[in-house]
Chain A
Amino acid sequence: MKTVAAICKRTWRRNWAFARLGILSNIEYRFNFAVDALLQPILTVLVESTLWLALFQLQGSETFAGFTRNQYLSYVIWSSFVARLTTNWMYEFRMINEIESGSLNSLLVRPISFFESYLSQFLGYKLIVTAASLCVPIGVCLIFDFPVFWSRLPLALLTAAFYMFFLYLLSFCVATFAFHLTRITGLSVAKNLTLAVLSGEILPLDLFPPGWHNFLVHLPFASGVYIPVGYLTGRIAIDQVWQAAQVQVVSLAGVACLARFLWRKGLRTYVGTGA
């Protein structure tokens, strides 16, 4: 029992240290942090809202595909926030760069895993960015009285957080390709674009034709934006959230196994270039 407690304490200590590193190394560059945490979410909300307002004006109707203008605006405001909460491209690029450049050496020779250290840094970074940028959708929805089921917010955020782990594992898998290929940022960008569509960040998934919609909501990617934001803004009911959670659990286990396999395979070919 004592040993388990000691291991847990040691694990917490080093992971909290890396989470602090994620926070420290981001707030060190104040301007970049302010743009990342505040300016970018505001700009995204402005751009997306303008697009939907233009669409409704062009259509000349108060509803579109069964939902009102305010429901769409609420969806895009929250979808841009949730998408930013789960997105991992910055740390994915860093992981790729570490493997490509051989900087990975500094972690491989220390008693901490690459997976663990980046996950902790990523969570530390997300903690401060989310805390700062959460005020944007809350503020906008309260000021303009957009439809939001506030009681659903904790479960919606939990679903998004669960997806964040899934996405991190996917990024980890993509990064392991850098063991075998010298340049893989193209693959990373293509993956991110695909996920933006499949998660419902670009368009709510219920705007797709019924067959497609049915297929897309059964993919784990729907939990990225469509499920939490749809639930929060009243587009979907709780049973769909539970269904998506089951898909998530299975997918998370599958991707975790894949990540472990790819990592071990990659290390066998690693040459630690640059030194």
Chain B
Amino acid sequence: MSNPVLPDGIALSTRGLSRTFRTYQKQPGFWGSLEGFYKRKFEDRVALAATDLTIPSGRIVGLVGANGAGKTTLLKILSGLIYPSSGQAQVLGFTPWERNNAYLRQMSILLGQKNQLWWDISPMDSFRLLADIYDLPKITALGRAEDLARMLDCHHVLKIQLRRLSLGERMKMELIGALLHQPRILFLDEPTIGLDIVAQATIRKFLSAYVADKAPTVILTSHYMDDIASLASQLLLISKGNLVYNGTVEDFTRKSLAKQKIAFTLSEGIPSPWTLSQTVFPTGTQTFQLEAPENEIPALMQAITQRPGLCDLRILEVDFEDVIHHFLTESQGQAQQ
């Protein structure tokens, strides 16, 4: 396969990149298992449909989608872990699945559900080993590890065997391991999965500071929309293997058809009859909410302010998670039609 050189300022580019998995369809029950012993049925499942993508350097890109949408498959192809079924990809000028050492030295992937450090030794020993693998000066690498550990507030666990650490501590160690060689491109697959909100916030803050300092290109998947909203400048939405949105987070929120929420408080209950274009939901004895498209908001606000006994009226900030959920539900509905 040819290696076209990427234009300046472009970290990654794909053309018609797709992946299909062949899966065994097991029939249920005892007889189904027996049947499967001599006759197996396989089904081809498209994990990633033909995808064209270009990502500029030095940017944090949020990759969002439901479970099984194809996010991890895309990351695995781009990091060279698996081969695509068809199409081309260039990352930092390399074809990822050729696994050229020059590429691997500039890339890092962190899979939130997989350990990548060594289970039987301490993180510090793992970092020494990584320094040898990446041929980094030992003093530089270990100093870097200590600095990163300080930033993540986990300096105290560096000499404890990895298997004895908590999930949050392990994830922080994995992050340090992924950043030790200062990769130019970083694939983060669910780096905050299963962590408590304090650990999530620490990792978010750390990533933000790290990217501001070193400016790597980051592709981040997460089910926690706060991760994406607070870190990413570009958003990729993937649904059933298809890329359904590629743009900025702000544009996405603005253009989204998601409804806005109005919350208000009345000194008395809602008088009947009170006709509004949208249904009002009680959220307490005197507090209420309604949802409406953006163009209906002024008229609704006017109608509510005319009510006697109005104590409080607010337009709630758009919840990014709701917007994504709404968008994905709609795109899945359209795909089914």
Contact = CB atoms under 8 A, between A and B. Distances in A.
A275 B193 CA distance: 12
A275 B109 CA distance: 12
Given A108-B99, A272-B82, A25 B21 contact: no
B118 A14 contact: no
B115 interface: yes
B116 interface: yes
B132 interface: yes
Contact of A275 (B83, B114, B118, B161): B114
A111 B134 contact: yes
A29 B79 CA distance: 34
Most buried by B among A18, A28, A270, A271: A271
B135 interface: yes
Contact of A25 (B108, B115, B121): B121
A106 B129 CA distance: 13
Interface residues of A, number: 28
A103 B99 CA distance: 17
A21 B115 contact: no
Nearest to A28: B120
A109 B134 contact: no
Contacts, number: 78
B76 A272 contact: yes
B113 interface: yes
A106 B135 contact: no
B80 A275 contact: no
A183 interface: no
18 contacts: A13-B135, A17-B132, A18-B129, A21-B118, A21-B121, A24-B120, A24-B125, A25-B121, A102-B114, A106-B117, A108-B81, A108-B99, A109-B108, A109-B109, A270-B83, A272-B76, A275-B111, A275-B112
Given A108-B99, A275-B72, 14 more contacts: A10-B135, A13-B135, A17-B132, A18-B129, A24-B120, A24-B125, A25-B121, A28-B161, A106-B117, A109-B109, A111-B105, A268-B83, A271-B21, A275-B114
Interface of A: 10, 13-14, 16-18, 20-21, 24-25, 28-29, 102-103, 105-106, 108-112, 267-268, 270-272, 274-275
